[in-house]
Every structure is written in C-alpha cells, then in structure tokens.
Amino acid sequence: MGTPVFTNPSANRTGYQNNNSSQSSEKTYQSEDEKISTNSAEDALAQLIRADWDNFKEDDLEYIMDYAKDITNETYVDRAVGQAKRNVNLGANSVYAGQKKRASGMGVDLSSAQINDRQKDFKRAKAVSLAGAASDARDSAIDRRNKLIAGSNISSLSGGGS
C-alpha cells in the first residue's frame, strides 16, 4: 500500500517504523473490519472517509429512503383517518351497549317510540362524531407529516465522514 512513510529514523519515536520494517501483514493504520488498511496516514484518512460512506450506504440508506417515502405519501394520513373512524365506531358501540345494559339494570321501561327516538339520536350523534374525528385526524396527521418533513434530516444527506 504505497511507500512506508516512516523511513526517517527521526520518526522512530512514535514506534511506527518497526511495523514497516518487520514486513508484517498488519498495517500501521488498520481497522478491525479491515476496510482501513494502510501504512500511510493520508491513505488511512481517505480510506476512513470511504469506509464511513460505504457503511452509511449499507446500514442506513435503505432505512432513510423508507422513512422518506412513508412521511411524504398518504400512508400515515390515511391510517390516522382510518384509526379515528374505527375507534369512534368501537367507542360508540360499546358505550351504547353499556347504556342499554345500565337502563335495563335500573328497570327503565321505554316505549318502542322512545327506543326508536333514542336509536336515531345515537345514529345521528355517531355520524357527527365520525365526521369530526376523521376530519380532526386528517388535519393532525397532515400537520404531523409537515413537521416530520421539515424536521427530518433528509436534505442533509451527508452520510458518514465528518
């Protein structure tokens, strides 16, 4: 890997020259993964920049691209709306069922007209609730998405090497 740099005896105080003169396969500058392996300090820094970048591409790039895709498309907006609707439905159904049980426990005896009225009221309330929750969820999810896009580090895709 190039001419050894530490041939000058005055450089001996660092002890680096011994490695060069012994012709060992171990280089002066060698990382454990052997992505950096040289006897030249300058080459070592160049190899380090390359190794950092390669590691970044190997370990991080796919993650970043997936994240970028997820926060710029409609996935999490649609998901929030779906969650809101499903939960309002579930919440309403379980609360209405609870009320029916409670009323029967209290000995409430409603006429069929009252029962019909109440069911209509509940349906109306649920429809309003569903629309409101879906709209709020969409607004919040868009707001969240904008914040993530603004706050993410996608634009400074500098990778490794500092």
Partner 1 sequence: MCSNVGGSKPEMTEAEKESAKVAVEQYDIARDLDFVKEAYESQVDALGSSGYRNYARGKANIAGMSSLEDAAKTTKVRQQQKGIDPSSGASTSEFNELTGTGAEVVGRGMGEAEFSIDSAYLGGRANRVAMATGEATKAQIGLGDIADRAVADANQDAFSDFNSSASNASALGTAVGMGASYYLNKPEG
Helix, strand, coil tally for the chain in percent (to 5): 70, 0, 25
Single out the residue of 19, 20, 45, 50 in contact with partner 1 (rule: CB under 8 A). Answer: 45
- Using the rule CB under 8 A, is 19 a contact of partner 1? no
- Using the rule CB under 8 A, is 4 a contact of partner 1? no
**Binding residues with partner 1: total (CB under 8 A):** 77
Please, which residue, 67 or 74, has the CB nearer to partner 1? 67
- Using the rule CB under 8 A, is 69 a contact of partner 1? no
What are the backbone dihedrals phi and psi of residue 100, each rounded to the nearest 5 degrees, phi first?
-60, -45
- Using the rule CB under 8 A, is 153 a contact of partner 1? yes
- Using the rule CB under 8 A, is 71 a contact of partner 1? yes
- Using the rule CB under 8 A, is 54 a contact of partner 1? no
CB 2 within 8 A of CB 39: yes
- Those residues whose C-beta lies under 8 Å from the C-beta of residue 47, and which sit 6 or more positions away, are 29, 35, 36, 37, 38
- Those residues whose C-beta lies under 8 Å from the C-beta of residue 139, and which sit 6 or more positions away, are none
CB 43 within 8 A of CB 100: no
- Using the rule CB under 8 A, is 91 a contact of partner 1? yes
DSSP state of 153: S
Q: Which of residues 129-148 bind partner 1 (CB under 8 A)?
A: 129, 133, 137, 140-141, 144, 148
- Using the rule CB under 8 A, is 77 a contact of partner 1? no
